[in-house]
A and B are shown apart, each in its own frame.
Chain A
Amino acid sequence: MSPAVGFQDATAIAGIAQTAFSKHLEPTEAELACTVIVDACADAGIDPSEINALCSYTMEATEEVDIVRNIGCGEITFFSQVGYGGGAGCGVVGQAAMAVATGQAEVAVAWRSRKRGSGPRPWTSTSVQLRVPGAWTRPFGMLRPVDEIAMLTRRYMHEYGATRDHLANVAMAVRKHANMNPAAIMHDKPMSREDYMASRWVSEPLCLFDNCLETDGALACVIVSAERARDLRHPPVYVHAFAQGLPPEHQTMVNFFNDDPLTGPAWACARRLWANSAFGPEDVNVAQIYDAFSPLILLSLEGYGFCKRGEAGPMTENGNLEWEKGSLPVNTAGGGLSEAYVHGFNLINEGVRQMRGTSTAQVDGAETCLVTSGEGVPTSALLLRR
Chain B
Amino acid sequence: MASGRSDATTDADALLAQLRAFEGRPSGPPAEARDEVNQAMIRHWVDAMGDDNPVYVDEESARANGFPGVVAPPTMLQAWIMRGYLSQPDGAWKAQRDASGEASAQEQLFDALNAAGFTSVVATNCDQEYVRPIVLGDRLTVTSVIDSVSPEKHTGLGDGHFVTTRLEFTDQHGERVATMRFRILRFRPQSSRPKDVALRPRPAITHDIAFFFEGARNGTLLIQRCAQCGVLRHPPRPACASCGSFEWDTVTASGRGTVYSFVVVHHPQVAAFDYPLPIAVVELEEGTRLVGDLIGIDPADVEIGMPVVAEMVAVDDELTIPMFRPAVPVGAGRVGAVTGDA
Q: Report A's interface with B, CB cutoff 8 A.
A: 124, 126-143, 147, 150-152, 154-155, 158-159, 200-205, 248-249, 251, 254, 256-257
Contact = CB atoms under 8 A, between A and B. Distances in A.
A203 B264 CA distance: 6
Contacts of A205: 263
B267 A200 contact: yes
A201 to B, nearest CB: 4
B227 interface: no
Interface string B247-279: 000000000000011111111001111001101
Given A124-B270, A140-B293, A155-B260, A130 B265 contact: no
Contacts of B260: 155, 256
B203 A151 contact: no
Contacts of A137: 291
**Interface-centre pick from A138, A202, A204, A205 (highest chain B CB count, 10 A):** A204
B76 interface: no
Contacts of A134: 201, 203
Contacts of B194: none
Given A130-B202, A130-B203, A141-B273, A155 B261 contact: yes
A199 to B, nearest CB: 10
B263 A150 contact: yes
Contacts of B198: 126
Interface stretch (B121-129, B156-164, B204-212): B204-212
Contact of B292 (A133, A140, A251): A140
Interface of B: 198-204, 206, 208-209, 234-235, 241, 260-267, 270-273, 276-277, 279, 281, 288-293, 299, 304, 315, 319, 321, 341
A140 B241 CA distance: 26
A140 B266 contact: no
A159 B265 CA distance: 21
Given A126-B200, A130-B203, A135-B203, A257 B263 contact: no
B203 A203 contact: no
Given A135-B235, A158-B341, 11 more contacts: A128-B201, A129-B203, A130-B201, A136-B290, A136-B291, A142-B263, A143-B270, A147-B263, A155-B261, A202-B266, A204-B264
A204 B277 CA distance: 10
A151 B202 contact: no
A129 B202 contact: yes
Given A140-B293, A257-B234, A257-B290, A126 B262 contact: no
Contacts of A150: 263
A150 B273 CA distance: 18
A249 B261 contact: no
Taking chain B's interface residues, is the majority helix, strand, or loop, or is none over half, making it mixed? loop
A153 B235 CA distance: 21
Contact of B262 (A136, A154, A202, A249): A154
A260 B287 CA distance: 13
B233 to A, nearest CB: 9
A159 B272 CA distance: 33
Nearest to A125: B201
B279 A147 contact: yes
A171 B235 CA distance: 33
Nearest to B273: A141
Contact of A204 (B202, B204, B266, B293): B266
B209 A132 contact: yes
Nearest to A128: B201
A134 B278 CA distance: 18
A150 B178 CA distance: 66
Contacts of A135: 203-204, 209, 235
A203 B266 contact: yes
28 contacts: A128-B201, A130-B203, A131-B204, A132-B203, A132-B235, A135-B209, A136-B234, A136-B291, A137-B291, A138-B200, A139-B200, A139-B201, A139-B202, A139-B321, A141-B270, A142-B263, A142-B265, A147-B263, A151-B262, A151-B281, A152-B261, A154-B261, A201-B264, A202-B267, A204-B263, A204-B264, A248-B241, A257-B234
Nearest to B299: A204
B293 A141 contact: yes
A257 B293 contact: no
A138 B201 contact: yes
Contact of A126 (B201, B234, B281): B201
A141 B271 CA distance: 10
A256 B280 CA distance: 11
Given A140-B321, A201-B267, A127 B199 contact: yes
A6 to B, nearest CB: 34
Nearest to A204: B264
Contacts of A257: 234-235, 281, 288-290
B281 A139 contact: no
B263 A140 contact: no
Contacts of B201: 126-128, 130, 134, 138-139, 143
Contacts of A126: 198-201, 270-272
A266 B262 CA distance: 23
A132 B277 contact: no
Given A132-B208, A141-B279, A249-B241, A155 B288 contact: no
Contacts of B289: 256-257
Given A133-B235, A257-B235, A139 B315 contact: yes
Contacts of B321: 139-140
Nearest to B320: A139
A151 B266 contact: no
Nearest to A149: B263
Nearest to A136: B235
A257 B304 CA distance: 16
A155 B277 contact: no
Given A141-B293, A204-B266, A256 B261 contact: yes
B267 A256 contact: no
Contacts of B292: 140
Nearest to B315: A139
Nearest to B200: A139
A285 B288 CA distance: 41
Contacts of A201: 264, 266-267, 276
Contacts of A155: 260-261, 281, 304
Given A126-B200, A248-B241, A257-B234, A140 B264 contact: no
Contact of A130 (B204, B241, B266, B267): B204
B266 A138 contact: no
B43 to A, nearest CB: 44
A299 to B, nearest CB: 14
